[in-house]
């Protein structure tokens, strides 16, 4: 069997901004001192947890009083929507007091709702990237023995368009992407990146004064829940395959009084069996489990054989519908509700909603 190739790491949007700031500051301070510092083809960025990373620089423009550097995001083998996006960081001298002000330019979002690490009205540049940018500029100040006040502006030309593919609109971040990263490094297929967006979603709901969170495993089930529940848009959080992480986080948040879990039959069969990390690499559809549920709810031998011989959960769903065994589906939904309640120790109200592949809704829990 062929050995699996190691996935390539990349660097974060925060690292892009810090690299651009360093390259621009280097060119600007050298130009200001008349040293004609050459434009760097790459810079070394200090990482939050120690060490440094070399980042390629696409281009540098230097004029009297300011410089701009362009860095192209490399997400490695992670499926990041910002991969290959251009990040332009400008460093402009504004005085002589040694202050560093960091702003978001075109394509960097603005926070409009409470609950995030950055307050409303501020550019969506998280605390760690802010520190990285500031340190990058300070390092160049020390190199050239200068201490001017500067304004650093981060721009992402395609940021507004890219943001539409992220959670930002739902989190109340408008006008562009967020500048993120806690380590400076992008891990391929990063669980941390996905769970971070889930946690942010919950934080925004709580900060907005809403007491109900709706976790959905995918967009189809989310749409079904939206139609049924009529809750504010901010109440919905996509969890993908990480329902367990979402429920664990919500269980520790004060102000969450009700949780709804929405999904389709495939994910719900895993949740009903107690598997809350539902990616195919973490858990698979348990056909014997579904067969046992069917037996307990009156299914005959022929149906059991069909379930055990099925290729997908979707196939099982339609077998049950065809055989008028909706009570098996209802039992799976009830188990999802029961298993999810275990994260909260029975302290809050739980509801489970299954969006059928044929647009039929199955629900267990608090009625509206």
pLDDT at 277: 74
Contacts of 25 (CB under 8 A, 6+ apart): 67, 91, 136, 137, 140, 141, 150
Nearest-angstrom CA–CA distance, 351 and 154: 43
Q: What's the pLDDT at 142?
A: 96
Mean pLDDT of all residues belonging to the chain: 91
For residue 79, pLDDT beyond 80: no
More confident residue, 15 or 282: 15
pLDDT for 2 equals 40
- Three-state SS for 97? coil
Instruction: Compute the Cα dihedral for 206, 209, 212, 216 and give only its sign.
Output: negative
Compute the distance between CA of residue 117 and CA of residue 290 in angstroms, rounded to an integer.
43
Q: Of residues 1 and 249, which shows the higher confidence score?
A: 249
Closest CA to 212 of 256, 160, 181: 256
Q: What is the reported pLDDT for 283?
A: 55
Tokens encoding 90: 């400008």
3-class DSSP state of 259? strand
- Asked whether the predicted pLDDT for residue 194 surpasses 80, the reply is no
Q: Is the pLDDT of residue 30 over 70?
A: yes
Count Cβ atoms within 10 A of the Cβ of residue 130 and give its class: 0-12 exposed, 13-18 middle, 19 or more buried. Answer: buried
Q: Is the pLDDT of residue 4 over 60?
A: no
d(C-alpha 219, C-alpha 216), whole Å? 7
Report the pLDDT value the prediction gives residue 159, as an integer from 0 to 100: 98
**pLDDT band for position 285 (cuts 50, 70, 90):** confident
Lowest mean pLDDT: which of 53-67, 89-103, 277-291? 277-291
Residue 1 pLDDT > 50: no
Lowest mean pLDDT among 111-125, 169-183, 185-199: 185-199
**Maximum C-alpha span of the chain:** 88
When pLDDT is cut at 50, 70 and 90, the band that residue 28 belongs to is very high
Tell me, what DSSP letter sits at residue 72? Answer: E
Task: Identify the three-state secondary structure at position 69.
Answer: strand
Non-local CB neighbours of 188 within 8 Å, separated by 6+ positions: 7, 8, 9, 10, 76, 77, 78
Q: Tens digit of pLDDT for each residue in 291-330?
A: 999 999 999 999 999 999 988 898 999 999 999 999 999 9
pTM of whole model > 0.85?
no
Q: How many CA atoms lie within 13 A of 61 on its CB side?
A: 6
Using the predicted structure, report yes or no on whether residue 367 has a pLDDT greater than 60: no
- Whether 195 and 245 have beta carbons less than 8 Å apart is answered as yes
All structural domains of the chain, each given as residue ranges with its CATH number in brackets, are: 10-186 (3.30.2110.10), 191-365 (3.40.1050)
CA 48 to chain CA centroid, Å, is: 20
Dist. CA 158–CA 60, nearest whole Å: 19
Say what the pLDDT of residue 311 is.
Answer: 83
pLDDT of residue 279: 56
pLDDT for 368: 37
CA distance 273 to 26: 57
What pLDDT sits at residue 187?
77
Strand partners, 123: 110
Residue keyed to tokens 């990373």: 53
**Average of per-residue pLDDT across 258-276:** 93
The C-alpha atoms of residue 40 and residue 224 are separated, in whole angstroms, by 52
């Amino acid at each position: 069997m062929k050995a699996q190739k190691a996935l390539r790491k990349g660097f974060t949007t925060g690292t892009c901004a810090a690299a651009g700031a360093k390259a621009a500051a280097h060119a600007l301070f050298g130009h200001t001192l008349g040293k004609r510092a050459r434009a760097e083809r790459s810079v070394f960025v200090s990482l939050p947890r120690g060490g440094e990373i070399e980042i390629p620089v696409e281009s540098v423009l230097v004029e009297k009083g300011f410089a701009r550097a362009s860095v192209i995001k490399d997400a490695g083998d992670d499926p990041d929507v910002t991969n290959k996006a251009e990040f332009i960081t400008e460093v402009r001298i504004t005085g002589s007091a040694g202050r560093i002000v960091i702003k978001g330019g075109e394509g960097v979002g603005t926070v409009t709702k409470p609950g995030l690490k950055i307050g409303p009205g501020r550019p969506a540049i998280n605390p760690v990237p802010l520190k990285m940018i500031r340190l990058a500029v300070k390092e160049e100040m020390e190199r050239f023995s200068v201490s001017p006040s500067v304004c650093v502006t981060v721009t992402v030309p395609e940021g507004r368009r890219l943001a539409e593919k992220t959670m930002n609109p739902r989190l109340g971040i408008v006008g562009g992407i967020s500048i993120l990263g806690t380590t400076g490094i992008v891990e391929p297929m990063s669980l941390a990146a996905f769970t971070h967006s889930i946690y942010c979603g919950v934080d925004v709901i709580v900060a907005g004064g809403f007491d109900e969170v709706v976790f959905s495993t995918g967009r189809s089930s989310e749409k079904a829940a939206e139609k049924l529940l009529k809750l504010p848009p901010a109440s919905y959080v996509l969890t993908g395959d990480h329902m367990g992480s979402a429920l664990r986080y919500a269980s520790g948040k004060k102000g969450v009084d009700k949780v709804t879990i929405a999904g389709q039959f495939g994910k719900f069969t895993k949740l009903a069996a107690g598997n809350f990390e539902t990616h195919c690499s973490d858990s698979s559809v348990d056909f014997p489990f579904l067969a046992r549920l069917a037996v307990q709810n009156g299914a005959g031998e022929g149906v059991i054989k069909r379930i055990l011989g099925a290729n997908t959960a979707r196939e099982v769903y339609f077998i049950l519908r065809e055989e008028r065994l909706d009570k098996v589906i209802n039992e799976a939904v009830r188990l999802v509700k029961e298993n999810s309640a275990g994260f909260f120790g029975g302290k809050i109200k739980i509801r489970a909603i299954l969006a059928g592949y044929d647009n039929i809704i199955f629900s267990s829990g608090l009625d509206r």
